[in-house]
Structure 1
C-alpha cells in the first residue's frame, strides 16, 4: 500500500487541500484534489487540483502562469485534509488577481476586502 492510499477521500472521491506559502506561511487558497490530482502533484512537485465546477483536473497556472512549486506535503491526523507548502510563482494565487483567496474580512457584520487586485483577471484569463 502506498502512502497516498492512506488518504481518506470523501464520498465524491475528493480531499480538501489548503495551500500555504512556504516562505511567508500565508494561507493562499483552498481547493480539492482527487486521487489523480494528488498523484500528479506528488510526481511533478507542481500543484494539480480537481475543479468541481468543470469536473476536470486543474493544473494550477495552466492559464495564468501563476504556478505552485510544491516544497512539502502534509496531512492532518485523520488523513482527510492535505496541506501543501508551495513557492507561489507570479505572486498571484487567486483567480480574482489577488495574492491569496482570503481577502474578505468580517467587520461589524460586513465583509470588507482587505487586499488589492495585483492584476486584473481579464488580463490573466482573457
Structure 2
C-alpha cells in the first residue's frame, strides 16, 4: 500500500485503534460505538458490513456474527481530526445492542440518575446462543 492509502490517513491511538460510531443511515440515530483496528476497517470497507475489533476478546468481531443483527455499510466517514470514524449503516433486524435494544444509548441522566428510556425489543437470551 502506498503512503497515501486512505487508511494511512487515520490517526490511530497507541494501541492501533480508532473509535468507530455506527449511525443509522436513514434516521441518523446513533446506534453504538466500538473500536476498529486497521484490519477491521479494511475488512469493513471490503465486505461492506461492520467489522470491529473486540478489545475484551482481542479479536475481530463481525457485527451480527452470533445475533444475525448485521450492520450493512452504506458509507464511511472520517472526522475533521482524522481520529474517529463514522459508519452509516443499515441495522439488519433493528437491534444494535447486545441488551436487545435498537441502540446502545438507552440510559438518560435524569435528576442525577441514569434511567433506561428505551425498552428491550428482544430478550438477549433469544438472540444469543450462550450455553
TM-score interval (norm. to shorter): over 0.9
- 5+ unaligned residues in a row in structure 1: which ranges? none
Q: What TM-score do you get using the length of structure 2 for normalisation?
A: 0.95
Q: How many residues align?
A: 126
Which of 59, 83, 95 is the matching residue for 2:86? 83
Aligned to 1:26: 29
| Partner SS, residue 5 of structure 1 | helix
Q: Which runs of 4+ in 1 moved over 2 A?
A: none
| Partner SS, residue 103 of structure 2 | coil
Which of 42, 45, 68 is the matching residue for 2:45? 42
| Partner SS, residue 105 of structure 1 | strand
Cα shift at 1:78: 1.3
Aligned to 2:118: 115
- 5+ unaligned residues in a row in structure 2: which ranges? none
Cα shift at 1:41: 0.2
2:95 equivalent to 1:92: yes
Cα shift at 1:65: 0.2
2:108 equivalent to 1:105: yes
2:66 equivalent to 1:63: yes
| Partner SS, residue 14 of structure 2 | coil
Looking at structure 2, the residues matched to 62 and 44 of structure 1 have their Cα atoms a distance apart, in angstroms, of: 13
Looking at structure 1, the residues matched to 111 and 63 of structure 2 have their Cα atoms a distance apart, in angstroms, of: 35
Q: What TM-score do you get using the length of structure 1 for normalisation?
A: 0.98
Looking at structure 1, the residues matched to 41 and 91 of structure 2 have their Cα atoms a distance apart, in angstroms, of: 18
Cα shift at 1:124: 0.7
